[in-house]
């Protein structure tokens, strides 16, 4: 990810919250195989946890956190993960090894993004014309090691918290025999994070007049995406002006 200073987000708490709010990650691996493609990607909903007691690893104790999810065994990416892990164990002669030597990359995208026309730049375009189209978006990328989920989504995404609301779906709601079949066809993965980077490209590199033009331009779209983009541009612009 290309990170210009003006777009980079280095606050770890903000990056972690971004991942929690946008849990559908794209798992990217680059693993050598005689059968499967070298580079593979899969969309996986992850549960993010910063509980340092989960593992004794120093990296996790620094506060980056851990991602947990599952992938279908039939997925070629799962097959190459299993193949690589097995080869690593054979090479080292240690059946307790449960960590791949190569890093994996997981990309989390924000829910809103949009094209930005040069016409939004009401300050620069009329005076110099030195503006070009771009795209505004937000994303966080995570690097970590892979090691050998439903409740979070039911409560935080669907709002099924019980009481006055509907109760969350439980695994026990499905037949045991059905769950047993599914469990045989998935593998659980844990990614111990050692690096997080965030990019919020939301016109904060522009002057205040142009940013206000972008905000107005998005508002004029009269859409949910437009309104959300306007709020994001305004928020990032304010942080820039405040030196945050």
* Domains (range + CATH), the chain: 8-111+137-204 (2.30.110.10)
Q: Categorise residue 162: left if φ over 0, alpha if ψ from -120 to 50, beta otherwise.
A: left
**Measured between alpha carbons, how far is 177 from 175 in angstroms, rounded to an integer?**
5
Whole-number pLDDT of residue 165: 72
Under-50 pLDDT residues of the chain: 54-61, 149-154
First to last CA, the chain: 22
- Whole-number pLDDT of residue 50: 86
State residue 96's pLDDT score.
53
The predicted pLDDT at position 146 comes to: 87
């Amino acid at each position: 990810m290309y990170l210009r200073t003006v777009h980079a987000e280095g606050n770890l708490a903000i990056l972690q919250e971004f991942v929690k709010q946008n849990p559908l990650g794209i798992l990217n691996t680059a693993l050598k195989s005689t059968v499967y493609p070298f580079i593979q990607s899969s969309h996986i909903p992850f549960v993010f946890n910063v509980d340092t007691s989960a593992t004794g690893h120093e990296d996790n104790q620094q506060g980056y956190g851990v991602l947990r999810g599952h992938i279908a065994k039939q997925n070629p990416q799962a097959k190459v993960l299993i193949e690589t892990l097995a080869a690593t164990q054979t090479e080292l002669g240690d059946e307790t090894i449960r960590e791949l030597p190569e890093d994996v990359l997981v990309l989390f995208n924000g829910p809103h993004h949009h094209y930005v026309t040069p016409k939004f730049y009401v300050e620069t375009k009329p005076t110099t014309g030195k503006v070009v189209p771009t795209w505004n978006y937000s994303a966080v990328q995570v690097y970590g090691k892979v090691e050998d989920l439903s409740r979070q989504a039911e409560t935080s995404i669907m709002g099924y918290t019980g009481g006055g609301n509907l109760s969350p779906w439980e695994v026990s709601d499905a037949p045991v025999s059905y769950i047993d079949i599914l469990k045989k066809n998935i593998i659980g993965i844990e990614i111990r994070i050692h690096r997080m980077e965030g990019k919020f490209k939301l016109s904060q590199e522009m002057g205040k007049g142009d940013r206000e033009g972008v905000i107005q331009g998005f508002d004029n779209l009269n859409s949910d995406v437009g309104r959300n983009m306007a709020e994001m541009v305004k928020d990032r612009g304010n942080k820039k002006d405040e030196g945050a």
